[in-house]
Amino acid sequence: MSGRVDEDLENEWFAVRYSGETPEIALYSSIYFLTEAEDGPKMCLSEDQYALLKEAARERYREIILRDLQPENRDKAIYRGVKRSIINFKRYECFCRRQLLDSQDFKAEVAAALLFFLATESVGTAKGDRLSSINCSFKELNDFARKVGLVEGHLPNHIVPLCCG
């Protein structure tokens, strides 16, 4: 591989890995640029090169899903809320299915982050330190908790008042 090819691939990996809220779109844009765009290098990507770009998108999904489950982010501009984690997790699963990637290994990490978030949120609101930042319904939250394996049935009832709708 030439230095220019390495540089082009590295630049596109960076664009995918640190893309905004839509890593899959960034992935397809990068692949298009690298392989077909008039102003692109018109590369013939190997399976390893495709895998590198797919993994960058997968890591970006993981980052944005976990970002919105971190209590320390609740008051920051980057925070989008639990509802956004739910939406992005669904997108992540669809992406993994389309790309033939395993999405199961990430569920335990999401479940642990969600558990910590809910515990922190419960304590903070019970003490009166803050209002709840949970921006989804109890049903949406409970379905998410079940999907990631946090609960088999229902979240505890004391979570209900923290939810909207």
Residue 38 is encoded by which pair of tokens? Answer: 């008039």
d(CA 85, CA 32) in angstroms, rounded, equals 28
Residues 164 and 135: beta-carbon distance below 8 Å: yes
Between 88 and 165, the higher pLDDT residue? 88
**pLDDT value of position 1:** 47
Q: Which tens digit of pLDDT belongs to each residue from 93-137?
A: 999 999 999 999 999 999 999 999 999 999 999 999 999 999 999
Task: Place 6 in a pLDDT band, splitting at 50, 70 and 90.
Answer: confident
d(CA 162, CA 94) in angstroms, rounded, equals 29
Residue 74 is encoded by which pair of tokens? Answer: 């609740």
> First-to-last CA distance in the chain?
55
Q: What is the mean pLDDT of residues 31-46?
A: 96
